[in-house]
Structure 1
Amino acid sequence: MENSKSSYVKIINEICAEEGIKLSSYSYDWAFCLRKDQKRAFILGYQFGLNPSSVQQVCNDKNIASEVLKEEDIPSVYHACFMAPSMLQYTGGKGSWKALLAELEKGTLVCKDNYGTGGNLVFKVRTQAELEKAASDIYKSSEAMAVCRYEDIQSEYRLVVLDGEIRLAFSKIRPSLTGDGVSTVGKLLAEAIAKGQIHSFLVPNEVELSKVPEKGKTYLLNWKHNLGQGASALTLSIPDLEEELVSLVKKTAKALGIRFASIDMIKTEAGWKVLEVNAGVMMEHFASSGEKQYITAKAIYRDAILKMFEG
Protein backbone atom coordinates (compact mmCIF):
# COMPACT_ATOMS: atom_id res chain seq x y z
CA MET A 1 0.00 0.00 0.00
CA GLU A 2 1.19 3.51 -0.80
CA ASN A 3 2.01 5.55 2.30
CA SER A 4 -0.39 8.28 1.20
CA LYS A 5 -3.30 5.81 1.22
CA SER A 6 -2.61 4.37 4.67
CA SER A 7 -4.82 4.89 7.72
CA TYR A 8 -1.75 6.25 9.51
CA VAL A 9 -1.17 9.10 7.06
CA LYS A 10 -4.89 9.86 7.00
CA ILE A 11 -4.89 10.09 10.81
CA ILE A 12 -1.86 12.43 10.87
CA ASN A 13 -3.52 14.74 8.34
CA GLU A 14 -6.84 14.75 10.21
CA ILE A 15 -5.24 15.51 13.57
CA CYS A 16 -3.20 18.40 12.20
CA ALA A 17 -6.23 19.90 10.45
CA GLU A 18 -8.32 19.62 13.62
CA GLU A 19 -5.62 21.03 15.90
CA GLY A 20 -4.58 23.94 13.67
CA ILE A 21 -1.16 22.44 12.98
CA LYS A 22 0.53 23.25 9.68
CA LEU A 23 1.73 20.01 8.13
CA SER A 24 4.45 19.48 5.54
CA SER A 25 5.06 16.06 4.02
CA TYR A 26 8.34 14.71 2.65
CA SER A 27 9.58 11.59 0.89
CA TYR A 28 6.21 10.17 -0.17
CA ASP A 29 4.58 10.77 3.23
CA TRP A 30 7.36 9.00 5.12
CA ALA A 31 8.36 12.13 7.05
CA PHE A 32 6.39 15.10 8.34
CA CYS A 33 7.15 18.53 9.74
CA LEU A 34 4.50 19.94 12.09
CA ARG A 35 4.37 23.68 12.92
CA LYS A 36 2.25 25.51 15.48
CA ASP A 37 2.75 28.63 17.63
CA GLN A 38 6.33 29.17 16.47
CA LYS A 39 7.20 25.58 17.40
CA ARG A 40 8.29 22.81 15.09
CA ALA A 41 8.20 19.02 15.49
CA PHE A 42 9.01 16.06 13.26
CA ILE A 43 7.63 12.59 12.63
CA LEU A 44 9.84 10.14 10.72
CA GLY A 45 8.13 6.91 9.76
CA TYR A 46 6.49 5.82 13.00
CA GLN A 47 9.02 7.64 15.18
CA PHE A 48 7.57 10.64 16.99
CA GLY A 49 9.64 13.46 18.46
CA LEU A 50 9.12 12.27 22.04
CA ASN A 51 11.96 9.78 22.40
CA PRO A 52 15.66 10.75 22.29
CA SER A 53 17.34 9.37 19.17
CA SER A 54 19.71 7.24 21.24
CA VAL A 55 16.76 5.63 23.05
CA GLN A 56 15.08 4.91 19.71
CA GLN A 57 18.23 3.19 18.46
CA VAL A 58 18.62 1.15 21.65
CA CYS A 59 15.02 -0.09 21.43
CA ASN A 60 15.31 -0.87 17.74
CA ASP A 61 18.41 -3.01 18.41
CA LYS A 62 17.00 -6.30 19.71
CA ASN A 63 20.28 -7.35 21.29
CA ILE A 64 21.03 -4.10 23.11
CA ALA A 65 17.45 -3.71 24.35
CA SER A 66 17.48 -7.23 25.78
CA GLU A 67 20.87 -6.58 27.42
CA VAL A 68 19.44 -3.52 29.19
CA LEU A 69 16.40 -5.45 30.39
CA LYS A 70 18.61 -8.31 31.58
CA GLU A 71 20.70 -5.87 33.64
CA GLU A 72 17.51 -4.50 35.18
CA ASP A 73 16.31 -8.03 36.09
CA ILE A 74 13.21 -7.62 33.93
CA PRO A 75 12.00 -10.99 32.56
CA SER A 76 12.60 -10.90 28.84
CA VAL A 77 13.56 -12.97 25.83
CA TYR A 78 17.31 -12.57 25.49
CA HIS A 79 18.54 -11.85 21.96
CA ALA A 80 22.20 -12.65 21.30
CA CYS A 81 23.90 -10.70 18.50
CA PHE A 82 25.90 -12.35 15.73
CA MET A 83 27.53 -9.94 13.31
CA ALA A 84 27.81 -10.53 9.58
CA PRO A 85 31.21 -11.78 8.32
CA SER A 86 31.83 -8.34 6.80
CA MET A 87 31.77 -6.88 10.32
CA LEU A 88 34.32 -9.25 11.88
CA GLN A 89 36.96 -6.51 11.94
CA TYR A 90 34.92 -4.86 14.70
CA THR A 91 34.26 -8.00 16.74
CA GLY A 92 37.68 -9.59 17.03
CA GLY A 93 37.55 -11.84 13.98
CA LYS A 94 36.74 -15.10 15.81
CA GLY A 95 33.61 -15.85 13.78
CA SER A 96 30.19 -16.99 14.93
CA TRP A 97 29.48 -20.49 13.65
CA LYS A 98 30.89 -22.42 16.59
CA ALA A 99 28.80 -20.43 19.06
CA LEU A 100 25.70 -20.60 16.84
CA LEU A 101 25.91 -24.38 16.46
CA ALA A 102 26.43 -24.75 20.20
CA GLU A 103 23.20 -22.80 20.78
CA LEU A 104 21.36 -24.90 18.20
CA GLU A 105 22.35 -28.11 19.99
CA LYS A 106 20.41 -26.86 23.04
CA GLY A 107 17.14 -26.63 21.10
CA THR A 108 15.14 -24.72 18.50
CA LEU A 109 16.22 -21.14 17.81
CA VAL A 110 14.63 -18.08 16.26
CA CYS A 111 16.92 -16.02 14.02
CA LYS A 112 15.98 -12.43 13.13
CA ASP A 113 17.28 -9.30 11.52
CA ASN A 114 18.59 -7.52 14.63
CA TYR A 115 16.87 -4.32 13.48
CA GLY A 116 13.88 -5.83 11.70
CA THR A 117 10.14 -5.24 12.13
CA GLY A 118 6.86 -6.82 11.09
CA GLY A 119 8.03 -10.43 11.29
CA ASN A 120 10.16 -10.03 8.17
CA LEU A 121 13.40 -12.04 8.03
CA VAL A 122 12.38 -14.08 11.08
CA PHE A 123 13.11 -17.81 10.93
CA LYS A 124 12.45 -20.79 13.17
CA VAL A 125 15.64 -22.85 13.09
CA ARG A 126 15.86 -26.55 14.04
CA THR A 127 18.72 -27.84 11.88
CA GLN A 128 22.12 -26.67 10.69
CA ALA A 129 20.76 -26.36 7.15
CA GLU A 130 17.96 -24.08 8.37
CA LEU A 131 20.50 -22.05 10.34
CA GLU A 132 22.69 -21.56 7.29
CA LYS A 133 19.69 -20.54 5.17
CA ALA A 134 18.46 -18.08 7.82
CA ALA A 135 21.89 -16.50 8.27
CA SER A 136 22.40 -16.22 4.52
CA ASP A 137 19.05 -14.48 4.00
CA ILE A 138 19.48 -12.12 6.96
CA TYR A 139 23.05 -11.10 6.15
CA LYS A 140 22.04 -10.14 2.61
CA SER A 141 20.32 -7.04 3.99
CA SER A 142 21.50 -6.68 7.59
CA GLU A 143 24.87 -6.48 9.30
CA ALA A 144 23.62 -8.22 12.43
CA MET A 145 21.50 -11.25 13.29
CA ALA A 146 19.64 -11.58 16.59
CA VAL A 147 19.24 -15.11 17.91
CA CYS A 148 16.94 -16.19 20.73
CA ARG A 149 15.52 -19.43 22.05
CA TYR A 150 12.19 -20.53 20.56
CA GLU A 151 9.47 -19.98 23.16
CA ASP A 152 6.25 -21.96 23.51
CA ILE A 153 4.00 -18.92 23.57
CA GLN A 154 0.59 -19.20 25.21
CA SER A 155 -0.39 -15.58 24.50
CA GLU A 156 1.22 -12.55 22.91
CA TYR A 157 0.07 -9.03 23.72
CA ARG A 158 1.02 -5.64 22.34
CA LEU A 159 0.73 -2.68 24.68
CA VAL A 160 1.10 0.94 23.60
CA VAL A 161 2.63 3.15 26.29
CA LEU A 162 2.66 6.95 26.36
CA ASP A 163 4.47 8.66 29.24
CA GLY A 164 4.16 5.67 31.53
CA GLU A 165 0.46 5.08 30.84
CA ILE A 166 -0.83 2.04 28.95
CA ARG A 167 -3.10 3.48 26.27
CA LEU A 168 -3.88 0.36 24.27
CA ALA A 169 -3.62 -3.38 24.81
CA PHE A 170 -4.52 -6.13 22.38
CA SER A 171 -3.76 -9.80 21.98
CA LYS A 172 -2.46 -11.14 18.69
CA ILE A 173 -4.60 -14.02 17.46
CA ARG A 174 -2.85 -16.21 14.90
CA PRO A 175 -4.84 -17.45 11.88
CA SER A 176 -6.04 -21.02 12.34
CA LEU A 177 -8.30 -23.77 11.03
CA THR A 178 -10.54 -26.17 12.95
CA GLY A 179 -10.29 -29.82 11.99
CA ASP A 180 -13.28 -32.02 11.16
CA GLY A 181 -11.37 -35.30 11.36
CA VAL A 182 -11.78 -35.93 7.62
CA SER A 183 -10.55 -32.95 5.58
CA THR A 184 -6.91 -32.15 4.96
CA VAL A 185 -5.40 -28.82 5.91
CA GLY A 186 -5.27 -28.04 2.20
CA LYS A 187 -9.03 -28.54 1.80
CA LEU A 188 -9.89 -26.61 4.97
CA LEU A 189 -7.59 -23.82 3.87
CA ALA A 190 -9.11 -23.63 0.39
CA GLU A 191 -12.59 -23.34 1.93
CA ALA A 192 -11.44 -20.61 4.32
CA ILE A 193 -9.83 -18.65 1.48
CA ALA A 194 -12.97 -19.00 -0.67
CA LYS A 195 -15.05 -17.58 2.20
CA GLY A 196 -12.64 -14.66 2.60
CA GLN A 197 -11.67 -15.75 6.12
CA ILE A 198 -7.97 -16.05 5.27
CA HIS A 199 -5.84 -14.30 2.65
CA SER A 200 -3.88 -16.76 0.52
CA PHE A 201 -0.81 -14.52 0.30
CA LEU A 202 -0.43 -14.68 4.10
CA VAL A 203 -0.17 -18.48 4.25
CA PRO A 204 3.45 -19.55 4.91
CA ASN A 205 5.11 -22.27 2.83
CA GLU A 206 5.59 -24.64 5.78
CA VAL A 207 1.86 -25.34 6.19
CA GLU A 208 1.26 -29.13 6.14
CA LEU A 209 -1.36 -29.28 3.39
CA SER A 210 -1.81 -33.08 3.52
CA LYS A 211 -2.27 -33.25 7.29
CA VAL A 212 -5.74 -34.19 8.60
CA PRO A 213 -6.40 -32.38 11.91
CA GLU A 214 -8.53 -34.19 14.48
CA LYS A 215 -12.15 -33.14 14.80
CA GLY A 216 -12.45 -29.98 16.87
CA LYS A 217 -8.67 -29.48 17.03
CA THR A 218 -7.14 -26.12 16.15
CA TYR A 219 -4.46 -26.07 13.46
CA LEU A 220 -2.35 -22.90 13.56
CA LEU A 221 -1.29 -21.62 10.15
CA ASN A 222 1.63 -19.55 11.40
CA TRP A 223 3.96 -19.71 14.39
CA LYS A 224 4.44 -15.93 14.19
CA HIS A 225 2.06 -13.50 15.91
CA ASN A 226 2.63 -10.48 13.64
CA LEU A 227 -0.45 -8.62 12.41
CA GLY A 228 1.27 -8.16 9.06
CA GLN A 229 1.66 -11.95 8.83
CA GLY A 230 -2.05 -12.68 9.16
CA ALA A 231 -2.71 -12.41 12.90
CA SER A 232 -5.69 -10.36 14.09
CA ALA A 233 -5.95 -7.97 17.02
CA LEU A 234 -8.36 -8.53 19.90
CA THR A 235 -8.65 -5.35 21.98
CA LEU A 236 -8.30 -5.91 25.72
CA SER A 237 -9.72 -3.99 28.66
CA ILE A 238 -6.80 -2.18 30.27
CA PRO A 239 -8.29 -2.24 33.82
CA ASP A 240 -8.62 -6.04 33.51
CA LEU A 241 -4.96 -6.66 32.63
CA GLU A 242 -2.94 -8.79 35.05
CA GLU A 243 -1.01 -6.74 37.60
CA GLU A 244 2.19 -8.62 36.79
CA LEU A 245 1.85 -7.71 33.11
CA VAL A 246 1.13 -4.03 33.79
CA SER A 247 4.06 -3.79 36.20
CA LEU A 248 6.51 -5.35 33.73
CA VAL A 249 5.39 -3.07 30.90
CA LYS A 250 5.85 0.07 33.00
CA LYS A 251 9.21 -1.13 34.35
CA THR A 252 10.35 -1.81 30.79
CA ALA A 253 9.45 1.67 29.56
CA LYS A 254 11.19 3.23 32.57
CA ALA A 255 14.32 1.07 32.24
CA LEU A 256 14.74 2.10 28.60
CA GLY A 257 13.78 5.71 29.20
CA ILE A 258 11.19 5.64 26.44
CA ARG A 259 8.09 7.85 26.42
CA PHE A 260 6.15 6.51 23.43
CA ALA A 261 6.46 2.86 22.45
CA SER A 262 4.67 -0.38 21.73
CA ILE A 263 5.87 -3.26 23.87
CA ASP A 264 5.35 -6.88 22.86
CA MET A 265 4.82 -9.26 25.79
CA ILE A 266 4.55 -13.04 25.73
CA LYS A 267 3.12 -15.44 28.29
CA THR A 268 4.81 -18.81 28.70
CA GLU A 269 4.77 -21.47 31.41
CA ALA A 270 7.34 -19.32 33.23
CA GLY A 271 5.02 -16.29 33.21
CA TRP A 272 5.18 -12.97 31.38
CA LYS A 273 8.29 -11.86 29.47
CA VAL A 274 9.18 -8.89 27.30
CA LEU A 275 9.66 -10.04 23.71
CA GLU A 276 10.53 -6.77 21.97
CA VAL A 277 10.21 -3.01 22.43
CA ASN A 278 9.26 -0.91 19.40
CA ALA A 279 10.19 2.77 19.47
CA GLY A 280 8.16 3.24 16.31
CA VAL A 281 4.47 3.01 17.21
CA MET A 282 2.79 1.41 14.21
CA MET A 283 -0.97 0.82 14.49
CA GLU A 284 -1.78 0.56 10.77
CA HIS A 285 -3.31 -2.93 10.83
CA PHE A 286 -5.12 -2.19 14.09
CA ALA A 287 -6.53 1.15 12.88
CA SER A 288 -7.66 -0.39 9.59
CA SER A 289 -9.60 -3.22 11.24
CA GLY A 290 -12.67 -1.17 12.18
CA GLU A 291 -14.10 2.26 13.00
CA LYS A 292 -13.69 1.84 16.77
CA GLN A 293 -10.06 0.81 16.34
CA TYR A 294 -9.44 3.77 14.04
CA ILE A 295 -10.83 6.17 16.66
CA THR A 296 -8.69 4.56 19.39
CA ALA A 297 -5.49 4.80 17.35
CA LYS A 298 -6.27 8.39 16.38
CA ALA A 299 -6.77 9.42 20.02
CA ILE A 300 -3.37 7.98 20.96
CA TYR A 301 -1.58 9.62 18.04
CA ARG A 302 -3.33 12.92 18.81
CA ASP A 303 -2.02 12.93 22.38
CA ALA A 304 1.48 12.03 21.18
CA ILE A 305 1.45 14.90 18.68
CA LEU A 306 0.16 17.43 21.21
CA LYS A 307 2.84 16.34 23.69
CA MET A 308 5.49 17.21 21.08
CA PHE A 309 4.40 20.84 21.36
CA GLU A 310 4.40 21.01 25.16
CA GLY A 311 7.06 22.86 27.14
Structure 2
Amino acid sequence: MKRPFLSLIQEAGLSCGVQFTEIEEHIVYRAQKDGKTFLMYNVDLGLNNTSAANIANSKSLTYSVLANAGLPCVEHTFLPNPNTAYSTGDTFVKAKQFFLAHGPQLVIKPDSGLQGKDVYKIDSLPQLKDRMSQLFAKQLDVSLSPYYETNYEFRVVILKGEAKLSFAKEKLRSWKHNLTGGQAKVRELDFLPATFVNELHKLAINAANALQLTFCSIDVLHTVTGLKVLEANASVFLSEYMKTSNAAKQQVFELYQDAFTIKFNE
Protein backbone atom coordinates (compact mmCIF):
# COMPACT_ATOMS: atom_id res chain seq x y z
CA MET A 1 0.00 0.00 0.00
CA LYS A 2 1.37 3.40 -1.01
CA ARG A 3 2.16 5.77 1.87
CA PRO A 4 -0.25 8.72 2.29
CA PHE A 5 2.50 11.33 1.95
CA LEU A 6 3.83 9.80 -1.27
CA SER A 7 0.27 9.51 -2.59
CA LEU A 8 -0.41 13.18 -1.88
CA ILE A 9 2.80 14.23 -3.65
CA GLN A 10 1.86 12.24 -6.72
CA GLU A 11 -1.70 13.59 -6.65
CA ALA A 12 -0.22 17.09 -6.69
CA GLY A 13 1.91 16.09 -9.67
CA LEU A 14 -1.05 14.58 -11.51
CA SER A 15 -3.01 17.82 -11.00
CA CYS A 16 -0.18 19.60 -12.87
CA GLY A 17 -0.19 17.12 -15.75
CA VAL A 18 2.67 14.93 -14.49
CA GLN A 19 2.45 11.20 -15.23
CA PHE A 20 4.20 8.60 -13.07
CA THR A 21 5.58 5.22 -14.04
CA GLU A 22 6.59 2.96 -11.16
CA ILE A 23 10.04 1.40 -11.66
CA GLU A 24 10.61 -0.06 -8.20
CA GLU A 25 7.54 -0.46 -6.01
CA HIS A 26 6.89 2.53 -3.73
CA ILE A 27 10.42 3.91 -4.11
CA VAL A 28 11.52 4.80 -7.68
CA TYR A 29 9.31 6.49 -10.27
CA ARG A 30 9.71 8.08 -13.67
CA ALA A 31 7.91 11.43 -13.75
CA GLN A 32 6.98 12.77 -17.20
CA LYS A 33 5.39 15.93 -18.55
CA ASP A 34 5.50 17.63 -21.97
CA GLY A 35 8.34 15.43 -23.21
CA LYS A 36 10.48 16.07 -20.13
CA THR A 37 11.28 13.36 -17.61
CA PHE A 38 13.13 12.80 -14.34
CA LEU A 39 13.62 9.96 -11.89
CA MET A 40 11.93 10.49 -8.54
CA TYR A 41 13.42 8.63 -5.56
CA ASN A 42 11.01 8.11 -2.68
CA VAL A 43 9.47 11.55 -1.94
CA ASP A 44 12.43 13.52 -3.28
CA LEU A 45 11.93 15.50 -6.50
CA GLY A 46 15.67 16.01 -6.98
CA LEU A 47 15.60 19.81 -6.90
CA ASN A 48 18.84 20.02 -4.89
CA ASN A 49 22.29 19.44 -6.32
CA THR A 50 24.24 16.49 -4.95
CA SER A 51 26.87 18.50 -3.07
CA ALA A 52 24.29 20.64 -1.30
CA ALA A 53 22.22 17.58 -0.37
CA ASN A 54 25.29 15.77 0.99
CA ILE A 55 26.29 18.75 3.12
CA ALA A 56 22.75 19.12 4.49
CA ASN A 57 22.76 15.41 5.35
CA SER A 58 25.62 16.06 7.80
CA LYS A 59 24.80 17.94 11.00
CA SER A 60 28.40 19.03 11.46
CA LEU A 61 28.96 20.15 7.86
CA THR A 62 25.68 22.09 7.94
CA TYR A 63 26.93 23.89 11.04
CA SER A 64 30.29 24.64 9.41
CA VAL A 65 28.69 26.18 6.31
CA LEU A 66 26.17 28.24 8.29
CA ALA A 67 28.77 29.47 10.78
CA ASN A 68 31.04 30.42 7.88
CA ALA A 69 28.13 32.44 6.44
CA GLY A 70 27.75 34.26 9.78
CA LEU A 71 24.32 32.82 10.58
CA PRO A 72 23.22 31.92 14.14
CA CYS A 73 23.23 28.14 14.45
CA VAL A 74 23.65 25.37 16.99
CA GLU A 75 27.27 24.20 17.10
CA HIS A 76 27.85 20.59 16.02
CA THR A 77 31.20 18.87 16.17
CA PHE A 78 32.00 15.76 14.13
CA LEU A 79 33.22 12.58 15.83
CA PRO A 80 34.28 10.00 13.21
CA ASN A 81 33.73 6.36 13.94
CA PRO A 82 37.12 5.05 15.16
CA ASN A 83 36.71 2.02 12.89
CA THR A 84 36.84 4.15 9.72
CA ALA A 85 39.72 5.62 7.76
CA TYR A 86 38.58 9.15 8.67
CA SER A 87 39.35 8.69 12.37
CA THR A 88 42.53 10.28 13.71
CA GLY A 89 43.59 10.24 17.33
CA ASP A 90 41.42 9.53 20.34
CA THR A 91 37.83 10.49 19.50
CA PHE A 92 36.81 10.58 23.16
CA VAL A 93 39.44 13.23 23.92
CA LYS A 94 37.76 15.55 21.39
CA ALA A 95 34.33 14.67 22.81
CA LYS A 96 35.51 15.35 26.37
CA GLN A 97 36.86 18.77 25.35
CA PHE A 98 33.51 19.62 23.75
CA PHE A 99 31.63 18.46 26.85
CA LEU A 100 33.76 20.61 29.15
CA ALA A 101 33.28 23.63 26.88
CA HIS A 102 29.53 23.25 26.21
CA GLY A 103 28.13 21.11 29.04
CA PRO A 104 26.70 20.23 31.46
CA GLN A 105 24.19 18.81 28.98
CA LEU A 106 24.84 17.78 25.39
CA VAL A 107 22.96 16.02 22.62
CA ILE A 108 24.64 13.12 20.87
CA LYS A 109 23.29 11.74 17.60
CA PRO A 110 24.33 10.22 14.27
CA ASP A 111 25.91 12.90 12.11
CA SER A 112 23.61 11.95 9.24
CA GLY A 113 20.59 10.78 11.25
CA LEU A 114 16.93 11.33 10.37
CA GLN A 115 13.65 11.51 12.29
CA GLY A 116 15.23 11.57 15.76
CA LYS A 117 16.59 8.03 15.71
CA ASP A 118 19.48 7.25 18.09
CA VAL A 119 19.40 10.78 19.56
CA TYR A 120 20.26 11.07 23.26
CA LYS A 121 20.67 13.79 25.88
CA ILE A 122 23.68 13.27 28.13
CA ASP A 123 24.87 14.98 31.30
CA SER A 124 28.06 13.19 32.33
CA LEU A 125 31.32 12.03 30.82
CA PRO A 126 30.68 8.31 31.56
CA GLN A 127 27.28 8.61 29.85
CA LEU A 128 28.94 10.34 26.90
CA LYS A 129 31.46 7.53 26.53
CA ASP A 130 28.74 4.85 26.75
CA ARG A 131 26.57 6.52 24.10
CA MET A 132 29.55 7.01 21.79
CA SER A 133 30.39 3.31 22.05
CA GLN A 134 26.75 2.42 21.40
CA LEU A 135 26.54 4.52 18.24
CA PHE A 136 29.98 3.52 16.98
CA ALA A 137 28.95 -0.14 17.34
CA LYS A 138 26.22 0.61 14.78
CA GLN A 139 28.92 1.79 12.34
CA LEU A 140 27.75 5.39 12.67
CA ASP A 141 29.67 8.65 12.73
CA VAL A 142 28.56 10.92 15.54
CA SER A 143 27.78 14.58 16.08
CA LEU A 144 27.75 16.44 19.40
CA SER A 145 25.87 19.65 20.10
CA PRO A 146 24.92 21.75 23.15
CA TYR A 147 21.48 21.08 24.61
CA TYR A 148 19.06 24.01 24.64
CA GLU A 149 16.00 23.84 26.87
CA THR A 150 13.07 25.14 24.80
CA ASN A 151 9.43 24.23 24.33
CA TYR A 152 9.36 24.91 20.62
CA GLU A 153 11.29 23.87 17.56
CA PHE A 154 10.24 25.53 14.31
CA ARG A 155 10.22 23.98 10.85
CA VAL A 156 10.26 26.20 7.78
CA VAL A 157 9.95 24.73 4.29
CA ILE A 158 11.85 26.70 1.68
CA LEU A 159 11.23 26.44 -2.06
CA LYS A 160 13.42 28.50 -4.36
CA GLY A 161 14.21 31.16 -1.79
CA GLU A 162 10.70 31.52 -0.42
CA ALA A 163 9.24 30.33 2.89
CA LYS A 164 6.25 28.32 1.69
CA LEU A 165 5.14 26.58 4.89
CA SER A 166 6.06 26.81 8.56
CA PHE A 167 4.91 25.50 11.91
CA ALA A 168 6.04 24.89 15.47
CA LYS A 169 6.74 21.54 17.06
CA GLU A 170 5.73 21.78 20.72
CA LYS A 171 7.26 19.11 22.92
CA LEU A 172 4.91 17.04 25.08
CA ARG A 173 6.22 14.07 27.05
CA SER A 174 9.85 14.14 25.97
CA TRP A 175 12.75 16.56 25.70
CA LYS A 176 12.67 15.91 21.95
CA HIS A 177 10.57 17.71 19.35
CA ASN A 178 9.87 14.69 17.14
CA LEU A 179 6.36 14.46 15.70
CA THR A 180 6.80 10.75 15.04
CA GLY A 181 5.73 8.76 18.09
CA GLY A 182 3.80 11.62 19.65
CA GLN A 183 6.78 13.24 21.39
CA ALA A 184 5.63 16.62 20.12
CA LYS A 185 2.59 18.19 18.49
CA VAL A 186 2.15 20.60 15.60
CA ARG A 187 1.17 24.15 16.40
CA GLU A 188 0.48 26.79 13.77
CA LEU A 189 2.37 30.06 14.14
CA ASP A 190 -0.65 32.32 14.68
CA PHE A 191 0.16 32.51 18.42
CA LEU A 192 3.38 34.38 17.63
CA PRO A 193 3.92 38.06 16.71
CA ALA A 194 4.28 38.72 12.99
CA THR A 195 7.72 40.24 13.62
CA PHE A 196 8.93 36.98 15.16
CA VAL A 197 7.60 34.90 12.25
CA ASN A 198 9.24 37.26 9.75
CA GLU A 199 12.56 36.91 11.59
CA LEU A 200 12.16 33.13 11.62
CA HIS A 201 11.43 33.00 7.88
CA LYS A 202 14.32 35.34 7.07
CA LEU A 203 16.78 33.16 8.99
CA ALA A 204 15.50 29.97 7.30
CA ILE A 205 15.72 31.55 3.84
CA ASN A 206 19.26 32.77 4.53
CA ALA A 207 20.24 29.29 5.76
CA ALA A 208 18.83 27.60 2.65
CA ASN A 209 20.66 30.09 0.44
CA ALA A 210 23.93 29.60 2.31
CA LEU A 211 23.58 25.83 1.86
CA GLN A 212 22.54 26.30 -1.79
CA LEU A 213 19.38 24.26 -1.26
CA THR A 214 16.45 24.84 -3.60
CA PHE A 215 13.88 22.71 -1.74
CA CYS A 216 14.41 21.91 1.91
CA SER A 217 13.17 22.24 5.45
CA ILE A 218 15.11 24.23 8.03
CA ASP A 219 14.70 23.44 11.73
CA VAL A 220 15.21 26.35 14.10
CA LEU A 221 15.38 26.54 17.91
CA HIS A 222 14.23 29.53 19.96
CA THR A 223 16.96 29.85 22.60
CA VAL A 224 17.60 32.38 25.37
CA THR A 225 20.06 34.08 23.01
CA GLY A 226 17.69 34.15 20.04
CA LEU A 227 16.85 31.98 17.05
CA LYS A 228 19.44 29.41 15.99
CA VAL A 229 19.34 26.99 13.05
CA LEU A 230 19.49 23.43 14.35
CA GLU A 231 19.69 21.50 11.09
CA ALA A 232 18.64 21.36 7.46
CA ASN A 233 16.83 18.59 5.62
CA ALA A 234 17.45 18.27 1.88
CA SER A 235 14.58 15.79 1.63
CA VAL A 236 11.33 17.36 2.82
CA PHE A 237 9.17 15.15 5.05
CA LEU A 238 5.72 16.42 6.02
CA SER A 239 3.92 13.14 6.58
CA GLU A 240 3.03 13.96 10.19
CA TYR A 241 2.19 17.59 9.53
CA MET A 242 -0.31 16.77 6.77
CA LYS A 243 -2.30 14.62 9.22
CA THR A 244 -3.08 17.52 11.54
CA SER A 245 -5.87 19.15 9.51
CA ASN A 246 -7.43 19.44 6.07
CA ALA A 247 -5.87 22.89 5.79
CA ALA A 248 -2.40 21.45 6.47
CA LYS A 249 -2.97 18.72 3.88
CA GLN A 250 -4.01 21.36 1.34
CA GLN A 251 -0.90 23.39 2.10
CA VAL A 252 1.31 20.37 1.42
CA PHE A 253 -0.61 19.63 -1.79
CA GLU A 254 -0.10 23.19 -3.07
CA LEU A 255 3.57 23.14 -2.01
CA TYR A 256 4.21 20.12 -4.23
CA GLN A 257 2.25 21.62 -7.10
CA ASP A 258 4.72 24.51 -6.98
CA ALA A 259 7.67 22.14 -6.63
CA PHE A 260 6.69 20.10 -9.71
CA THR A 261 6.18 23.29 -11.70
CA ILE A 262 9.69 24.46 -10.80
CA LYS A 263 11.18 21.04 -11.51
CA PHE A 264 9.76 20.85 -15.02
CA ASN A 265 10.81 24.43 -15.78
CA GLU A 266 14.47 23.87 -14.87
Q: TM-score, normalised by structure 1?
A: 0.79
1:181 is matched with none
2:246 is matched with 291
Distance change (3 Å), C-alpha of 1:26 and 1:120: farther
Quote how far apart the aligned CAs of 1:23 are.
Answer: 0.2
8 Å CA contact 1:108–1:150 kept in 2: the answer is yes
The yes-or-no answer on 1:240 pairing with 2:236 is no
8 Å CA contact 2:152–2:171 kept in 1: the answer is no
Q: Which of 96, 99, 104 lines up with 1:101 in the alignment?
A: 96
Count of residues paired in the alignment: 261
Q: Which of 67, 87, 90 lines up with 2:86 in the alignment?
A: 90
SS in 2 for 1:292: helix
Query: 2-side partners of 1:264 and 1:18: how far apart?
Result: 29
8 Å CA contact 1:154–1:268 kept in 2: the answer is no
Query: 2-side partners of 1:7 and 1:150: how far apart?
Result: 34
Quote how far apart the aligned CAs of 1:299 are.
Answer: 0.7
Query: 2-side partners of 1:150 and 1:143: how far apart?
Result: 21
User: Which of structure 1's runs of 4+ aligned residues deviate more than 3 A?
Assistant: 140-143
Quote how far apart the aligned CAs of 1:239 are.
Answer: 9.0
Q: What letter matches 2:167 in structure 1?
A: F
The yes-or-no answer on 1:60 pairing with 2:57 is yes
Query: 2-side partners of 1:82 and 1:33: how far apart?
Result: 38
Q: What letter matches 1:56 in structure 2?
A: A
- Aligned identity (percent) is 27
Quote how far apart the aligned CAs of 1:36 are.
Answer: 1.1
Query: 1-side partners of 2:138 and 2:16: how far apart?
Result: 40
Question: Deviations 1:109-134 (Å, cap 9, x if unpaired)?
Answer: 10011001111110101123322332
8 Å CA contact 1:119–1:229 kept in 2: the answer is no
1:263 is matched with 218
Counterparts of 1:62-81 in structure 2 under 5 Å? 62-81=59-78
Query: 2-side partners of 1:26 and 1:240: how far apart?
Result: 45
Q: Unmatched 5+ residue regions in structure 2? A: none
Q: Unmatched 5+ residue regions in structure 1? A: 176-220
